[in-house]
Amino acid sequence: MADTPVEYIQHHLQNLTYGKLPAGYERLDPYTGEVLSVLDQATWTMARSAAEASDMGFMAFHVDTLGWSIAMGCLFLFLFRMVAKNATTGVPGGLQNVVEMTVEFIQGVVRDGFHGKNPVIAPLALTIFVWIFLMNSLKLIPVDFVPELLMWLLPIEYMKIVPTTDPNGTFGISIGVFILIIFYSIKVKGGLGFLKELSFTPFNHWALVPFNLVLEILGLLTKPLSLALRLFGNMYAGEVVFILIAILPFWIQWTLNVPWAIFHILVVTLQAFIFTTLSVVYLSQAHEDH
Protein backbone atom coordinates (compact mmCIF):
# COMPACT_ATOMS: atom_id res chain seq x y z
CA MET A 1 0.00 0.00 0.00
CA ALA A 2 0.98 3.64 -0.41
CA ASP A 3 3.06 5.17 2.38
CA THR A 4 3.04 8.85 1.39
CA PRO A 5 0.23 11.20 0.24
CA VAL A 6 1.73 11.32 -3.28
CA GLU A 7 1.84 7.51 -3.52
CA TYR A 8 -1.72 7.33 -2.15
CA ILE A 9 -3.02 9.74 -4.81
CA GLN A 10 -1.11 7.99 -7.61
CA HIS A 11 -2.39 4.62 -6.42
CA HIS A 12 -6.04 5.74 -6.48
CA LEU A 13 -5.71 7.34 -9.92
CA GLN A 14 -4.20 4.22 -11.51
CA ASN A 15 -6.45 1.86 -13.48
CA LEU A 16 -6.37 -1.91 -13.20
CA THR A 17 -4.66 -2.59 -16.53
CA TYR A 18 -4.32 -5.81 -18.53
CA GLY A 19 -1.87 -5.82 -21.39
CA LYS A 20 1.15 -7.35 -23.07
CA LEU A 21 4.73 -6.99 -21.80
CA PRO A 22 7.63 -7.85 -24.12
CA ALA A 23 10.16 -10.64 -23.65
CA GLY A 24 13.05 -9.67 -21.37
CA TYR A 25 10.92 -7.16 -19.46
CA GLU A 26 12.04 -6.66 -15.85
CA ARG A 27 9.09 -6.61 -13.45
CA LEU A 28 9.88 -4.38 -10.49
CA ASP A 29 8.39 -4.05 -7.04
CA PRO A 30 6.21 -0.89 -7.29
CA TYR A 31 7.43 0.42 -3.91
CA THR A 32 11.02 -0.80 -3.44
CA GLY A 33 12.04 -0.83 -7.12
CA GLU A 34 13.87 -4.15 -6.87
CA VAL A 35 13.59 -6.67 -9.73
CA LEU A 36 11.03 -9.38 -8.95
CA SER A 37 11.22 -11.34 -12.22
CA VAL A 38 12.31 -11.17 -15.86
CA LEU A 39 9.88 -12.37 -18.55
CA ASP A 40 11.20 -15.12 -20.81
CA GLN A 41 8.62 -14.35 -23.50
CA ALA A 42 6.00 -11.75 -24.36
CA THR A 43 3.23 -12.12 -21.80
CA TRP A 44 -0.32 -10.83 -21.33
CA THR A 45 -0.72 -9.96 -17.67
CA MET A 46 -2.07 -7.47 -15.13
CA ALA A 47 0.09 -4.42 -14.56
CA ARG A 48 1.69 -4.22 -11.10
CA SER A 49 2.57 -0.53 -11.37
CA ALA A 50 1.84 2.63 -13.34
CA ALA A 51 5.14 2.11 -15.20
CA GLU A 52 4.08 -1.37 -16.34
CA ALA A 53 0.67 -0.06 -17.42
CA SER A 54 2.40 2.63 -19.48
CA ASP A 55 4.82 0.13 -21.02
CA MET A 56 1.90 -2.04 -22.15
CA GLY A 57 1.10 0.63 -24.72
CA PHE A 58 -2.09 1.45 -26.57
CA MET A 59 -3.47 -2.10 -26.81
CA ALA A 60 -3.90 -2.48 -23.05
CA PHE A 61 -7.32 -2.86 -21.42
CA HIS A 62 -8.52 -0.94 -18.37
CA VAL A 63 -10.30 -3.84 -16.73
CA ASP A 64 -11.93 -1.76 -14.00
CA THR A 65 -13.38 0.75 -16.48
CA LEU A 66 -14.76 -2.03 -18.67
CA GLY A 67 -16.07 -4.04 -15.73
CA TRP A 68 -17.86 -1.22 -13.93
CA SER A 69 -19.25 0.16 -17.21
CA ILE A 70 -20.76 -3.23 -18.06
CA ALA A 71 -22.02 -3.64 -14.49
CA MET A 72 -23.83 -0.27 -14.58
CA GLY A 73 -25.27 -1.10 -18.00
CA CYS A 74 -26.60 -4.40 -16.65
CA LEU A 75 -28.01 -2.61 -13.59
CA PHE A 76 -29.83 -0.17 -15.88
CA LEU A 77 -31.33 -3.01 -17.94
CA PHE A 78 -32.29 -4.98 -14.85
CA LEU A 79 -34.03 -2.07 -13.09
CA PHE A 80 -35.94 -0.82 -16.13
CA ARG A 81 -36.96 -4.32 -17.21
CA MET A 82 -38.18 -5.12 -13.70
CA VAL A 83 -40.24 -1.93 -13.55
CA ALA A 84 -41.65 -2.55 -17.05
CA LYS A 85 -42.73 -6.09 -16.13
CA ASN A 86 -44.28 -5.07 -12.79
CA ALA A 87 -45.75 -1.71 -13.82
CA THR A 88 -49.17 -0.88 -12.40
CA THR A 89 -51.84 1.52 -13.64
CA GLY A 90 -52.65 2.68 -10.14
CA VAL A 91 -50.45 4.64 -7.76
CA PRO A 92 -46.86 3.75 -8.75
CA GLY A 93 -44.27 2.57 -6.28
CA GLY A 94 -41.08 4.45 -5.56
CA LEU A 95 -38.91 2.82 -8.22
CA GLN A 96 -41.65 2.91 -10.87
CA ASN A 97 -42.22 6.59 -10.10
CA VAL A 98 -38.50 7.35 -10.57
CA VAL A 99 -38.39 5.43 -13.86
CA GLU A 100 -41.53 7.13 -15.19
CA MET A 101 -40.16 10.56 -14.25
CA THR A 102 -36.87 9.75 -15.98
CA VAL A 103 -38.61 8.57 -19.15
CA GLU A 104 -40.83 11.67 -19.25
CA PHE A 105 -37.81 13.90 -18.67
CA ILE A 106 -35.89 12.33 -21.55
CA GLN A 107 -38.98 12.54 -23.77
CA GLY A 108 -38.98 16.28 -23.12
CA VAL A 109 -35.28 16.56 -23.97
CA VAL A 110 -35.76 14.68 -27.25
CA ARG A 111 -38.92 16.62 -28.12
CA ASP A 112 -37.12 19.94 -27.65
CA GLY A 113 -33.75 19.01 -29.15
CA PHE A 114 -34.50 16.56 -31.97
CA HIS A 115 -36.44 17.77 -35.01
CA GLY A 116 -36.30 14.71 -37.24
CA LYS A 117 -38.21 11.43 -37.19
CA ASN A 118 -36.31 8.47 -35.79
CA PRO A 119 -37.67 5.98 -33.22
CA VAL A 120 -34.12 5.11 -32.11
CA ILE A 121 -33.24 8.54 -30.67
CA ALA A 122 -35.44 8.51 -27.56
CA PRO A 123 -34.35 5.03 -26.34
CA LEU A 124 -30.75 5.97 -27.15
CA ALA A 125 -31.01 9.20 -25.15
CA LEU A 126 -32.59 7.34 -22.22
CA THR A 127 -29.80 4.75 -22.28
CA ILE A 128 -27.05 7.38 -22.43
CA PHE A 129 -28.54 9.44 -19.60
CA VAL A 130 -29.19 6.61 -17.15
CA TRP A 131 -25.97 4.76 -17.97
CA ILE A 132 -23.78 7.84 -17.46
CA PHE A 133 -25.75 8.80 -14.34
CA LEU A 134 -25.17 5.37 -12.79
CA MET A 135 -21.46 5.41 -13.66
CA ASN A 136 -21.08 8.93 -12.27
CA SER A 137 -22.95 7.94 -9.10
CA LEU A 138 -20.20 5.48 -8.17
CA LYS A 139 -18.21 8.57 -7.24
CA LEU A 140 -20.40 8.96 -4.13
CA ILE A 141 -19.01 5.71 -2.66
CA PRO A 142 -16.06 6.44 -0.31
CA VAL A 143 -12.82 6.27 -2.31
CA ASP A 144 -11.21 3.54 -0.16
CA PHE A 145 -14.21 1.28 0.40
CA VAL A 146 -14.41 -0.75 -2.82
CA PRO A 147 -10.63 -0.86 -3.60
CA GLU A 148 -9.77 -2.11 -0.10
CA LEU A 149 -12.63 -4.63 -0.14
CA LEU A 150 -11.51 -6.07 -3.48
CA MET A 151 -7.84 -6.08 -2.40
CA TRP A 152 -8.89 -8.08 0.64
CA LEU A 153 -10.95 -10.54 -1.42
CA LEU A 154 -8.75 -10.76 -4.54
CA PRO A 155 -5.07 -10.18 -5.39
CA ILE A 156 -5.90 -6.81 -7.03
CA GLU A 157 -3.50 -3.90 -6.61
CA TYR A 158 -5.49 -1.13 -8.34
CA MET A 159 -9.18 -0.33 -8.76
CA LYS A 160 -10.83 2.83 -10.12
CA ILE A 161 -14.56 2.27 -9.85
CA VAL A 162 -15.78 5.40 -11.69
CA PRO A 163 -15.57 4.68 -15.45
CA THR A 164 -16.16 8.33 -16.39
CA THR A 165 -12.91 9.37 -14.65
CA ASP A 166 -11.09 7.41 -17.36
CA PRO A 167 -10.85 9.16 -20.76
CA ASN A 168 -11.02 5.73 -22.41
CA GLY A 169 -14.51 5.31 -20.98
CA THR A 170 -15.83 8.73 -21.98
CA PHE A 171 -14.27 8.54 -25.44
CA GLY A 172 -15.82 5.11 -25.93
CA ILE A 173 -19.31 6.56 -25.45
CA SER A 174 -18.63 9.71 -27.48
CA ILE A 175 -17.14 7.75 -30.40
CA GLY A 176 -20.28 5.60 -30.43
CA VAL A 177 -22.37 8.78 -30.74
CA PHE A 178 -19.99 10.09 -33.42
CA ILE A 179 -20.41 6.92 -35.50
CA LEU A 180 -24.19 7.39 -35.34
CA ILE A 181 -23.80 11.03 -36.42
CA ILE A 182 -21.84 9.97 -39.51
CA PHE A 183 -24.22 7.06 -40.21
CA TYR A 184 -27.38 9.17 -40.10
CA SER A 185 -25.75 12.06 -41.97
CA ILE A 186 -25.05 9.71 -44.88
CA LYS A 187 -28.37 7.85 -44.57
CA VAL A 188 -30.53 11.00 -44.54
CA LYS A 189 -28.55 13.17 -46.98
CA GLY A 190 -26.89 10.50 -49.07
CA GLY A 191 -23.15 10.16 -49.54
CA LEU A 192 -22.96 12.91 -52.13
CA GLY A 193 -25.33 15.13 -50.17
CA PHE A 194 -23.21 14.79 -47.04
CA LEU A 195 -20.05 15.55 -49.00
CA LYS A 196 -21.74 18.54 -50.64
CA GLU A 197 -22.77 19.86 -47.22
CA LEU A 198 -19.18 19.63 -46.00
CA SER A 199 -17.85 21.26 -49.18
CA PHE A 200 -20.27 24.19 -49.55
CA THR A 201 -20.94 25.17 -45.93
CA PRO A 202 -20.71 27.93 -44.76
CA PHE A 203 -19.56 29.54 -48.05
CA ASN A 204 -21.50 28.38 -51.10
CA HIS A 205 -18.76 28.82 -53.71
CA TRP A 206 -16.56 26.23 -55.37
CA ALA A 207 -13.39 28.32 -54.87
CA LEU A 208 -13.83 28.10 -51.08
CA VAL A 209 -14.36 24.32 -50.95
CA PRO A 210 -10.93 23.58 -49.35
CA PHE A 211 -11.57 26.23 -46.67
CA ASN A 212 -15.08 24.87 -46.05
CA LEU A 213 -13.80 21.30 -45.76
CA VAL A 214 -11.24 22.29 -43.13
CA LEU A 215 -13.88 24.16 -41.10
CA GLU A 216 -16.55 21.48 -41.35
CA ILE A 217 -14.26 18.49 -40.69
CA LEU A 218 -12.78 20.25 -37.65
CA GLY A 219 -16.30 21.06 -36.46
CA LEU A 220 -17.30 17.43 -36.95
CA LEU A 221 -14.30 16.09 -35.03
CA THR A 222 -14.79 18.49 -32.13
CA LYS A 223 -18.17 16.91 -31.36
CA PRO A 224 -16.84 13.64 -29.88
CA LEU A 225 -13.90 15.52 -28.35
CA SER A 226 -16.16 17.99 -26.56
CA LEU A 227 -18.50 15.24 -25.35
CA ALA A 228 -15.70 13.04 -23.99
CA LEU A 229 -13.43 15.70 -22.48
CA ARG A 230 -16.21 17.67 -20.79
CA LEU A 231 -17.51 14.57 -19.00
CA PHE A 232 -14.03 13.26 -18.17
CA GLY A 233 -12.73 16.63 -16.93
CA ASN A 234 -15.58 17.22 -14.52
CA MET A 235 -15.62 13.69 -13.14
CA TYR A 236 -11.83 13.42 -12.86
CA ALA A 237 -11.52 16.76 -11.05
CA GLY A 238 -14.20 15.74 -8.57
CA GLU A 239 -12.48 12.40 -7.97
CA VAL A 240 -9.17 14.13 -7.26
CA VAL A 241 -10.87 16.33 -4.65
CA PHE A 242 -12.41 13.26 -2.97
CA ILE A 243 -8.95 11.62 -2.86
CA LEU A 244 -7.37 14.77 -1.43
CA ILE A 245 -10.04 14.89 1.28
CA ALA A 246 -9.36 11.21 2.08
CA ILE A 247 -5.71 11.92 3.04
CA LEU A 248 -6.76 14.55 5.62
CA PRO A 249 -7.33 13.74 9.32
CA PHE A 250 -10.51 11.76 9.97
CA TRP A 251 -12.44 14.56 11.69
CA ILE A 252 -11.79 16.95 8.78
CA GLN A 253 -12.79 14.32 6.23
CA TRP A 254 -16.41 14.25 7.40
CA THR A 255 -16.55 18.02 7.58
CA LEU A 256 -15.58 18.32 3.91
CA ASN A 257 -16.82 15.04 2.44
CA VAL A 258 -20.51 15.50 3.21
CA PRO A 259 -21.01 18.91 1.54
CA TRP A 260 -18.77 17.90 -1.39
CA ALA A 261 -20.77 14.66 -1.87
CA ILE A 262 -24.07 16.58 -1.70
CA PHE A 263 -22.77 19.04 -4.29
CA HIS A 264 -21.66 16.14 -6.48
CA ILE A 265 -25.20 14.76 -6.59
CA LEU A 266 -25.96 17.82 -8.74
CA VAL A 267 -22.74 17.42 -10.78
CA VAL A 268 -23.42 13.72 -11.44
CA THR A 269 -26.90 14.48 -12.78
CA LEU A 270 -25.88 17.62 -14.66
CA GLN A 271 -23.03 15.93 -16.56
CA ALA A 272 -25.30 13.07 -17.62
CA PHE A 273 -27.89 15.62 -18.77
CA ILE A 274 -25.35 17.70 -20.74
CA PHE A 275 -23.89 14.66 -22.51
CA THR A 276 -27.38 13.41 -23.42
CA THR A 277 -28.65 16.80 -24.60
CA LEU A 278 -25.61 17.45 -26.80
CA SER A 279 -25.87 13.94 -28.27
CA VAL A 280 -29.52 14.58 -29.17
CA VAL A 281 -28.67 17.98 -30.70
CA TYR A 282 -25.79 16.55 -32.75
CA LEU A 283 -27.98 13.71 -34.02
CA SER A 284 -30.70 16.22 -34.88
CA GLN A 285 -28.19 18.15 -36.99
CA ALA A 286 -27.27 14.90 -38.74
CA HIS A 287 -30.95 14.45 -39.73
CA GLU A 288 -31.31 17.94 -41.22
CA ASP A 289 -31.53 17.67 -45.00
CA HIS A 290 -31.15 21.08 -46.61
Does the annotation mark 226 as catalytic?
Answer: yes
Catalytic one of 230, 257, 279, 284 = 230
Which of 118, 168, 199, 226 is catalytic? The answer is 226
User: Whole-angstrom Cα distance, residue 202 to residue 200?
Assistant: 6
Closest C-alpha among 19, 64, 24, 27 to residue 45: 19
CA–CA separation, 162 and 235 (whole Å): 8
Closest CA to 146 of 16, 258, 51, 245: 16
3-class SS at 248?
coil
Indicate the SS3 state at residue 27: strand
What CA–CA distance (Å, rounded) separates 165 from 32?
28
Choose the catalytic residue: 212, 234, 279, 284: 234
Q: How many CB atoms lie within 10 A of CB 111?
A: 11
| HEC secondary structure over 36-97 | EEECCCCEEEECCCHHHHHHCCCCCEEHHHHHHHHHHHHHHHHHHHHHHHCCCCCCCCHHHH
Distance in angstroms (rounded) separating the CA atoms of residues 272 and 139: 13
Q: Does the annotation count 48 as an active-site position?
A: no
Catalytic residues: 226, 230, 234
